[in-house]
Amino acid sequence: MTELAAVKAALKTQAVETPSWAYGNSGTRFKVFAQQGVPRDPREKLADAAQVHAVTGVAPTVALHIPWDKVDDYAALAKYAEDLGLRLGAINSNTFQDDDYKLGSICHADPAVRRKALDHLLECVDIMDATGSTDLKLWFADGTNYPGQDDIRERQDRLAEGLAEVYGRLGDGQRLLLEYKFFEPAFYATDVPDWGTAYAHCLKLGEKAQVVVDTGHHAPGTNIEFIVATLLREGKLGGFDFNSRFYADDDLMVGAADPFQLFRIMYEVVRGGGYGPDVAFMLDQCHNIEPKIPAIIRSVMNVQEATAKALLVDREALAVAQREGDVLEANAVLMDAYNTDVRPLLAEVRGEMGLDADPMGAYRRSGWAAKIVEERVGGQQAGWGA
């Protein structure tokens, strides 16, 4: 295979998971701007996700968030997804939208609240059994706002104990993916604030526990690709929640704020052997002012472009320059790949996959947007940012 053929083949196998909640209405704490035609239930979210997959060919799975996507029969929902040419992906837990969780969930000082949160996490594994999902994605809003508010050390003990119980419930082929976030909603101390804390817990839990890097969950200036490289070296990178940030956890379209950062991350993924089924590429975004489905298509395309550039890095030339200590040449090799316009290459790849070369145009021409506006009245709120 020529090198270009290998790059194309790799691009064809890419899979970007889209989040059910990105299809619904969302907003900031100031206002949710309702859009016409948004899904009214999980099935309609899947129907929209199928449109994204139809035009991109690389978005075959959809992440669920429980209870936002609560249904009576999860196996039936999985079957419905299958009929649409999709699969259900990560099951995201939610222990942050209940009054009982004001002071935390599995780190709470009260064992009754911890039990309630744990029961929810165990229910999420039951749902995985029914849907065939392999990943349980855990993010905890737990933390404290004031020094002295709670014992931050004991909270770690409670966290470890809770995670161990959930871990013990995982079946073969199931993973626990632990997500970190440096602040918000807690402002003084978050219980899983950084990759180091997440890594320490996952290491203790065992092989089935890995870390999720949400690209919006770092302080400005953080070198995220270094974290990615480190986690890959340790076999502990489970996946990504992709999105862009300008200020905090903005949840904007991935690759919109800093496409160069996305390229650097994807380069470390490729370089570190993380480009494959073991690292989940998920989106975690909210589209507050832009139309949802095209925004998700754009996000998938942005991931593809960053990936194509990362795959195009001349690693041999880079290694030579690095060995020779040729700082400028090494940087130039990397920048050459980043500065390549990969859109024609991706158009070719899409053509070879039997797709329209222009996914955005294909969606526009499909008539789906007008159809859902006509058919769906009273769309559902995503459940986040309202």
Residues lying near ligand PSV in the complex (CB under 6 A): 21, 92, 139, 179, 181, 214, 241, 249, 284, 384
Residue 384 interacts, among ligand PSV, Mn ion, none and using kind-specific CB cut-offs from 5 to 8 Å, with ligand PSV
Nearest to 289 by CA among 318, 317, 256, 322: 256
* Interactions with Mn ion, residue window 14-53 (CB under 5 A): none
**Of 111-119, 187-195, 206-214, 318-326, which part binds Mn ion (CB under 5 A)?**
206-214
**Total of chain residues touching Mn ion, rule CB under 5 A:** 4
In the region spanning residues 142 to 171, those forming contacts with Mn ion, defined by CB under 5 A, are none
Q: Which is nearer to ligand PSV, 108 or 181 (CB)?
A: 181
Closer Cβ to Mn ion, 141 or 334, answer by number: 141
The distance of closest approach from Cβ of residue 5 to Mn ion in the complex, given in angstroms and rounded to an integer, is: 35
Which range touches Mn ion (CB under 5 A), out of 4-12, 64-72, 117-125, 214-222? 214-222
Buried b (16+ CB within 10 A) or exposed e, 321-336: beeeeeeeebeebbee
Q: Residue 217 Cβ, how far from Mn ion at the closest point, in Å? A: 6
Residues 245-304 interacting with Mn ion (rule: CB under 5 A): 249, 284
Question: Least distance from C-beta 57 to ligand PSV, angstroms?
Answer: 25
Q: Please, are residues 343 and 300 in contact by the beta-carbon 8 Å criterion?
A: no
Contacts of 51 (CB under 8 A, 6+ apart): 293, 363, 366, 368
Least separation in angstroms between CB 153 and ligand PSV: 24
Reduced to 3 states, what is the DSSP secondary structure of residue 260?
Answer: helix
Strands (E) in 130-279, as ranges, are: 135-139, 143-144, 175-179, 189-190, 209-214, 237-242
CB nearer to Mn ion: pick between 239 and 379: 239
What are the backbone dihedrals phi and psi of residue 107, each rounded to the nearest 5 degrees, phi first? -105, 0
Exposure b/e, 130-158, CB count within 10 A at least 16 = b: bbebbbbbbbbbbbbeeeeebebeebbeb
Q: Give the nearest distance from C-beta 155 to Mn ion in angstroms.
A: 20
Q: Which residues, in sequence order, are CB contacts of 290 under 8 Å at separation 6+? A: 253
Q: Closest Cα to residue 134, out of 24, 15, 256? A: 15
Q: Minimum CB separation from Mn ion for residue 386, in Å?
A: 15
Closest CB to Mn ion among residues 214, 268: 214
First to last CA, the chain: 50
Taking CB under 5 A as the criterion, the residue among 48, 150, 241, 268 binding Mn ion is 241
For Mn ion, the closer CB: 51 or 285: 285
CB-nearest residue to ligand PSV = 139
Q: What residue type is 227 in one-letter code?
A: I
CB of 45 to ligand PSV, least distance (A): 14
**In the chain, at which residue ranges do the beta strands (DSSP E only) sit?**
16-19, 61-65, 87-92, 135-139, 143-144, 175-179, 189-190, 209-214, 237-242, 280-283
225 binds, among ligand PSV, Mn ion, none (CB under 5 to 8 A by kind): none
Rg, the chain, Cα only: 21
Residue 255 or residue 359: which is nearer to ligand PSV going by CB?
255
Nearer to ligand PSV, 218 or 236 (CB): 218
Task: Give min distance, CB of 258 to ligand PSV, in A.
Answer: 17
Kindly provide the residue ranges of all beta strands, DSSP E only, lying in 76-122, ordered along the sequence.
87-92
Kindly tell me which of 14 and 20 has the beta carbon lying closer to ligand PSV: 20
Rounded to whole angstroms, how far apart are CA atoms 58 and 360?
Answer: 14
Please say which residue, 19 or 359, places its beta carbon nearer to ligand PSV.
19
Q: Which residues have C-beta within 8 Å of that of residue 164, sequence separation ≥ 6?
A: 205
Supply the minimum distance, in Å, between the C-beta of residue 114 and ligand PSV: 19
Cα separation of 252 and 351, whole Å?
29
Binding site for Mn ion (CB under 5 A): 214, 241, 249, 284
